[in-house]
Amino acid sequence: MSHIETSLLNGADIIRDYCKKLPKTPGVYRMLNEQGDVLYVGKAKSLKNRVLNYAQPAGLSVRIQRMVSQTRSMEFIHTKTEVEALLLESNLIKKMKPPFNVVFRDDKSYPYIEITIGHDYPKAVKFRGVKKEEGIYFGPFANAGAVNRTLISLQKAFQIRNCSEGNFKNRTRPCLQYHIKRCTAPCVGLVSKENYAAQVQDMHDFLSGKSHTIKQKLVDQMEHAAKILDFEMAAKLRDRIKALSTVTAHQDINIDIVGDADGVGVVQQGHKICIQIFFVRGGQNFGNRSIVQSINEDVSLEEVLSACLAQFYSNKPIPPTIYVSHIPAEKELLSEALSEALGRKVMISRPERGDKMRLMKFILDNAAEELSRHLSESVAQKEMLHSVARLFGLSTPPSRIEVYDNSHLGGTGMIGGMIVAGEEGFRKSAYRKFNIREALASDDYGMMREVMLRRFSKALAENEGPGTPNWPDLLLIDGGKGQLSVVEDVLTELNILQHVTVVGIAKGPDRNAGREQLFMRNKPSFQLQHNDPVLHYLQRLRDEAHRFVIGAQRTRRAMAVPAGPLDDIPGIGPKKKKALLQYFGSGKAVSTAAIEDLRKVEGISQAIAERIHRHFTS
């Protein structure tokens, strides 16, 4: 009997022993390997019956047999219902990312349009993050570009402010937004509170799905202005109508959906799939998002969609209607779970005819095009990695390239950055920044040494040394012979220099692109032809590292010199702000004060104290 067959039988025996003690009740189970890592997370209406299936390996797929062969222990969580088990399962899969589950790899947050409340003159701004109580949110939008385009058009149409509270309070004359007709300048009293409230209500209604009503209202006002020969007002209303038409006309497809809905389609080619999600809010297209990832070929698209919906909506707004390209596995259970999370009925349906079917065809066509583009890029990326391997004498194409760069501003704000690239392109989830703690100001060599020590000492301490998935095949250092020597010294100290190839890339004379000098251990420096595709690839890697570290440094500087912490709290004017700062001594002290202490300040009521406390703790 082979080792694999022995491991499979051992795993089945271990699972069978657990089944003896399991009840026939709902719950979630986890398969763990010898190191305690989670291999698989599943849910069951009856834990005993479901887990017992794994003890009969002959009827399992090859993928699940591999999982059983690696199983050395199991953990269980009992739930009251199967719906509760499904919700818990999807959360655990997103958190643990077990290798034998279908993991929907979309951890990004989505942007919204927020209309602030609790202020006489609310503002409309782009918002991303944890929602606060004091705000009305519209979205999600597929990306920042979609929300930015929509906001610009809405500002032209409704002229709602987007300035900070500090700027609003301190204005003495209208800003540029007023002069380009994107704000009515409530900051200096050029619009009454009542008229501004009407502007805000119109924007709210438009984003809530009453776009036709709002447009017709403006058309009526424009016609009335023309009749009384107020052509200036008629022209202004015409421009506002045109701006709204830009929002409603910016559709890749004409949709006839009332209210909120999502369209989710999936296509497959080999072991790659593309999932496309199309957002419709208030009957308007809020954009679409494509996710390309790998799956095991024995997993059906129905299973993929079920996992996708459960995991995606575990932390995203759930629409009342979801149109799908395939009926997801356990559709009724999934619908019940989403309905319970939303607090109202959620319908999952596959369109068969009409406009909804046209929408789904559009989604699938876009997904197929995106997947083809991704596969073409992947082939080109593989060829490029083969060229990189030949150039630097690697035995195989590098599966993980790490690129390092450092940045500081006059010896302050020193920070190091690491980006990662491979066959799939840039792996942004693996990027890492290093706040320099020990190196002296402007000591580039000391900064590089500290970054290398921290990166690889930690990897060795966490058993992520040579041969593990997170170990680099190639280090690309932004610098010349000096930086290369520092890196090699550190790797020699850690006894790992022989397990990684290190290359320094120095900018050419006068920092000219195309004249870069390459440095390697025990080799003379060399240059590539300015039109060499490998040089262009290395430049892209270096530039991405530079972009990342500069961005991290700017963020750090912005955090080090923040705006006044009280400026953006609605209802806190100069007088209350002065009283708070005089009482507590600093904005930081205000941010940590209890509600009872805030109440002691003159002019701070219970409601305002609670608002301040919520602002700093939410």
Burial classification of residue 313, based on how many CB atoms lie within 10 Å of its CB (0-12 exposed, 13-18 middle, 19 or more buried): buried
For the chain, the domains span 3-96, 112-249, 261-372, 401-560, 574-617
This prediction has a pTM of: 0.68
Tokens representing 214 are 């709002």
**Do 297 and 324 meet the contact criterion of CB atoms below 8 Å apart?**
no
Q: How far apart are CA 408 and CA 217, in angstroms?
A: 55
CATH code at 574-617: 1.10.150.20
Which residues, including other chains, have CB under 8 Å from residue 405's CB and lie 6 or more apart?
A: 416, 417, 478, 542, 545, 546, 548, 549
Q: β-strand 135-138 against 284-294: which pairing, if any?
A: unpaired
The pLDDT of residue 254 is 55
Q: How far apart are CA 181 and CA 157, in angstroms?
A: 9
* 3 state DSSP class of 290: strand
Which residues, including other chains, have CB under 8 Å from residue 173's CB and lie 6 or more apart?
A: 188
Q: How far apart are CA 43 and CA 31, in angstroms?
A: 12
Q: Where are the beta strands (DSSP E) in 33-140?
A: 38-44, 73-78, 112-116, 124-127, 135-138
Residue where the block lists tokens 């390697």? 520
Q: How far apart are CA 273 and CA 325, in angstroms?
A: 13
The pLDDT of residue 563 is 52
Strand partners, 502: 475
For the stretch 294-310, pLDDT in tens is 888 788 899 999 999 99
Mean pLDDT of 44-50: 91
Taking the chain, what is the end-to-end CA distance rounded to the nearest angstrom? 60
Q: Among 136-150, 308-322, 558-572, which stretch is predicted with the lowest mean pLDDT?
A: 558-572
State CA 401 to chain mean position distance: 23
State the chain's mean pLDDT as an integer.
Answer: 85
Which residues, including other chains, have CB under 8 Å from residue 382's CB and lie 6 or more apart?
A: 397, 423
Question: DSSP letters of 569-604?
Answer: STT--HHHHHHHHHHHSSHHHHHT--HHHHTTSTT-
Tokens representing 165 are 């509270």
Query: CATH topology of 3-96 equal to that of 261-372?
Result: no
Q: Among 217-226, 254-263, 561-570, which stretch is predicted with the lowest mean pLDDT?
A: 561-570
Mean pLDDT of 162-176: 85
Q: Is the omega angle on the peptide bond into residue 140 within 30 degrees of 0, that is, cis?
A: yes
For the stretch 313-365, pLDDT in tens is 888 888 999 999 999 998 999 999 999 888 899 999 999 888 888 889 988 99
**Do 475 and 497 meet the contact criterion of CB atoms below 8 Å apart?**
no
Residue where the block lists tokens 């109508």? 241
Residue where the block lists tokens 């499979």? 8
Within 10 Å of residue 171's Cβ, how many Cβ atoms? 15
Q: Does domain 261-372 have CATH number 3.30.420.10?
A: yes
For the stretch 223-245, pLDDT in tens is 877 888 877 778 777 777 777 76
Q: Is the pLDDT of residue 283 over 90?
A: no
Q: Which residue would you say has higher pLDDT here, 577 or 22?
A: 22
For the stretch 368-424, pLDDT in tens is 998 888 888 888 888 999 999 999 999 999 999 999 998 877 666 788 899 999 888
The pLDDT of residue 567 is 67
Q: Which residue would you say has higher pLDDT here, 229 or 46?
A: 46
The pLDDT of residue 516 is 86
Q: Is the pLDDT of residue 530 over 90?
A: no
Q: β-strand 321-324 against 347-349: which pairing, if any?
A: parallel
Strand partners, 432: 418
Burial classification of residue 277, based on how many CB atoms lie within 10 Å of its CB (0-12 exposed, 13-18 middle, 19 or more buried): buried
The pLDDT of residue 25 is 92
Instruction: Outline where 296-400 has alpha helix (H).
Output: 301-312, 331-342, 354-392
CA atoms in the 13 A half-sphere facing the CB of 370: 22
Residue where the block lists tokens 């570290």? 549
Tokens representing 402 are 């790490």
For the stretch 444-458, pLDDT in tens is 888 899 999 999 999
Nearest by Cα to 215 from 192, 238, 191, 193: 238
Q: How confident is the model at residue 508 (pLDDT cuts 50, 70, 90)?
A: low
**Do 485 and 522 meet the contact criterion of CB atoms below 8 Å apart?**
no
Mean pLDDT of 135-158: 83
Q: Which fold has domain 401-560?
A: Nucleotidyltransferase; domain 5 (3.30.420)
- HEC profile of 204-222: HHHHCCCHHHHHHHHHHHH
Nearest by Cα to 243 from 274, 269, 222, 270: 222
Mean pLDDT of 533-556: 88
The pLDDT of residue 419 is 94
CA atoms in the 13 A half-sphere facing the CB of 39: 20
Instruction: Outline where 71-192 has alpha helix (H).
Output: 82-96, 144-158, 165-170, 176-179
Q: Among 53-57, 207-211, 253-257, 264-268, which stretch is predicted with the lowest mean pLDDT?
A: 253-257
Say what percent of the chain tops pLDDT 90. Answer: 30
Q: Where are the beta strands (DSSP E) in 372-499?
A: 401-409, 412-422, 425-426, 432-435, 474-478
Assign domain 3-96 to its CATH architecture: 3-Layer(aba) Sandwich (3.40)
Which residues, including other chains, have CB under 8 Å from residue 378's CB and lie 6 or more apart?
A: 423, 424
Q: Is the pLDDT of residue 540 over 70?
A: yes
Q: How confident is the model at residue 561 (pLDDT cuts 50, 70, 90)?
A: very low
Burial classification of residue 42, based on how many CB atoms lie within 10 Å of its CB (0-12 exposed, 13-18 middle, 19 or more buried): buried
Q: β-strand 284-294 against 412-422: which pairing, if any?
A: unpaired
* 3 state DSSP class of 411: coil
For the stretch 3-23, pLDDT in tens is 667 888 888 888 899 898 888
The pLDDT of residue 391 is 93
Mean pLDDT of 103-130: 83
Q: Which residue would you say has higher pLDDT here, 440 or 124?
A: 124
Mean pLDDT of 533-538: 91
Q: How confident is the model at residue 545 (pLDDT cuts 50, 70, 90)?
A: very high
The pLDDT of residue 196 is 92
Q: How far apart are CA 312 and CA 293, in angstroms?
A: 14
The pLDDT of residue 72 is 92
